[in-house]
Chain A
């Protein structure tokens, strides 16, 4: 029993040590150097492409013709995406999915589905649209009941 308790205590202490962020200045300075190297490593293939584009003054079509495998492997974009700069780019016209569903019902959900790229954000907005649609239907039913009971 004592053995298991000691093991549990050791495990607890090791966990504490593992999650504690480092505040040692030398460790932090090392983190600066290592992180910079990791970024270089992650982008090494893209740097090669960059050099080639600059040296040979290539456009996207020429690059794709000469280095098709690399371009496909990297999934290199053929257009300039400004999506990350736009406010509320993760919702159609910046309007939340719930509002689309609430106001336009099934058509609203369809708009969300067609307007957004496939991915977790589309799923989330479609789900919110369904909730909006349900709340809209419930409210209209409730309103009808209230009106009918008042007559």
Chain B
């Protein structure tokens, strides 16, 4: 009887682990378009991205405007030229922690991971299929006052961060969702950032998305 129970626990335990680790890879073709008002410059970057959750490695194969390969691992970025010779290694900080691809594969995407970042819910407004949540920033993030997330039919539509002066300094919008396996993935990610002197507008288009 004890053996039987143990066997059941092992089977169910394994099933839960397998379920949690079901998808570990994300791949897509992408275009990034960006405009910076301070430098009066713009970018168009086209290529393919692959993310491996198990090794936390993001690999970009860039085709336009020039052939390059970027590899993000932990807090380092390695750049390779078109012949895959290493060009440089830079420390870029813990940006992998904020990787959207990681959020797509895990369950953190629905609230933009705000709960994990210790934001607390201040108020919730519901109307039809829309839910608007106001989040209070944790004390350790001094420059952010509140964040607003909007969900439509359970899918995150956008997040707006407001600083302590009431300025909406960062906005991100997630549109054109596609359902792949049991995941809702946005194919268009728009963002806006307002710094002291600059405004940055950016759109990321994802095509041919695959997760496995």
Contact = CB atoms under 8 A, between A and B. Distances in A.
Interface string A23-60: 10100110110011011101100110110011000111
A77 B150 contact: no
A53 B157 contact: no
A85 interface: yes
A19 B125 CA distance: 24
A20 interface: yes
Interface in B33-68: 33-35, 39-46, 62, 64-66, 68
Contacts, number: 120
Interface of B: 31, 33-35, 39-46, 62, 64-66, 68, 70, 77, 79, 90-93, 95, 125, 127, 130, 132, 134, 148, 150, 157-158, 160, 162, 166, 168, 171, 173, 175, 190-192, 197, 201-203, 205
A66 to B, nearest CB: 14
Interface size class of chain A, counting residues whose CB lies under 8 Å from the partner chain: 35 or more
B159 to A, nearest CB: 9
Contact of A46 (B33, B171, B173, B191): B33
A29 B173 contact: no
Looking at chain A's contact residues, the main secondary structure is helix
9 contacts: A19-B166, A35-B173, A39-B201, A40-B203, A42-B201, A43-B202, A46-B44, A50-B205, A80-B68
A137 B185 CA distance: 59
A59 to B, nearest CB: 7
A50 B33 contact: yes
B201 A60 contact: no
The 8 closest A-B pairs by CB, nearest first: A21-B166, A60-B65, A46-B33, A25-B125, A42-B201, A39-B190, A36-B173, A75-B41
Nearest to B163: A21
Contacts of B125: 25
A79 B82 CA distance: 13
A142 interface: no
B121 to A, nearest CB: 14
Contacts of A78: 65-66
Contact of A35 (B132, B171, B175): B171
